[in-house]
Structure 1
C-alpha cells in the first residue's frame, strides 16, 4: 500500500511528536499540552501556567530548587 505525500508527512509528524514526547519524559519534562488540557478540564477556575512557566516549574521540581527533594549531581 503506497502512501501519498500528505499521508506520509502526517505519519512522520505523528511519529516525531511521539519520539519528542518520549525523550522529554525520559529527562523529566512533562507535556505542556496535556497539562493545559487537564487544568482546563478539572480546574476551570484556574488559569494554566504559560508554556515557559510550566517548563521552568518542571525543571525546578526536578532539580530540587527551593528544597532538598529533587535530583542533585553535586
Structure 2
C-alpha cells in the first residue's frame, strides 16, 4: 500500500496536481498551531502559486 501511495504522489507531481494528503500531514506535523485549508482552498492556492511563478513553500 505504501508503494502505491508513493506512485500516486509521484504521478500527481508529474502532471501538476497538488497532493492534499501530503499537505495535511505536513501541516499537522510541522505547523499544528496553523489551520489546515480545505481541499478547495488548497487547490486554488497551489494553482495561483504555480501560475504566478512563485514556489509557495513554507519550509
Higher relative CO (Cα under 8 Å, sequence separation at least 6) belongs to 2
Q: Same fold (TM over 0.5)?
A: yes
Aligned pairs for 1:1-74 within 5 A? 15=4, 20-64=8-52, 69=53
TM-score by length of 1: 0.55
Q: SS of 2:18's equivalent?
A: coil
Report how many residues are paired: 53
Deviation readout 1:15-51 (Å, 9 max, x if unpaired): 4x55543332112222111110110111110011111
TM-score by length of 2: 0.66
Unaligned runs of 5+ in 1: 1-10
- CA 1:41–1:19 in 2, change beyond 3 Å: closer, same or farther? closer
